[in-house]
Chains A and B, each alone.
Chain A
């Protein structure tokens, strides 16, 4: 089955750019979606189709995808961005979604 690999944690200072990676075999051929989950809350979609933002998601959030790595970038990080972030693709060979293991973003 298709496997997505995320770093367990990423730390960044306020105002800096956080980059969270999602690795997978030829992931560039897939569409990647990203979810933010704050403590005690449900996940929320922040990026779909590699780099599109749902309405209401700040422009500080962006996504890219190429080769074997997809990346979620958060510019001008704020304390309120502390959360777990999950990447997700649709595995067409098995007709089911696959989630990455999640990355905890810590704002120092």
Chain B
């Protein structure tokens, strides 16, 4: 059974940077697409970014393009999200999830427990 554990969330000032990590355990021999989804306090789910199995393709929501970078290290079974130029509106719980990609469709299972990022002065 795949388990995901996020870390790295913190309180940071606007304009600052943060790097989130997601440790993947119980993996099969085949890597999967991976994704980050965030949830602002009291709000719904917002997809942030995803990355292909070998890291050769990445996609981002428009709101974070040019500021966030998703990456992975399959040798370490880890996923990362480098967040620069953080804004107050980036405040959210950030979840990593396995991105199940089949026939061009994607859904997310399982999810980590989330890590809280707070952007405030």
A57 to chain B, nearest CB (A): 10
* Cα of A86 to Cα of B110 in the assembled complex, Å: 15
The residue of chain B having its C-beta at the shortest distance from the C-beta of A95 within the complex is B59
Option from A31, A42, A95, A100 in Cβ contact (under 8 Å) with B95: A42
Q: How large is the interface on B (under 10, 10 to 19, 20 to 34, 35 or more residues)?
A: 20 to 34
| Distance in angstroms between the alpha carbons of A95 and B105 in the assembled complex | 9
Contact yes or no, A42 B46, CB < 8 A: no
Question: Are A96 and B47 interface neighbours, CB within 8 A?
Answer: yes
List B contacts of A90 (CB < 8 A).
104-107
Interface size class of A (residues with CB under 8 A): 20 to 34
B contact face: mostly helix, strand, loop, or mixed:
strand
Q: Which residues from A are CB-within-8-Å of B95?
A: 42-43
Given contacts A95-B59, A96-B61, whether A31 and B114 have CB atoms under 8 Å apart is no
Say whether B109 contacts A86, CB under 8 Å: no
Q: How far is the CB of A89 from chain B (nearest CB, A)?
A: 8
Q: B41 at the A/B interface (Cβ < 8 Å)?
A: no
Q: Which residues of B contact A (CB under 8 A)?
A: 35, 37, 44-47, 59, 61, 95, 100, 104-114
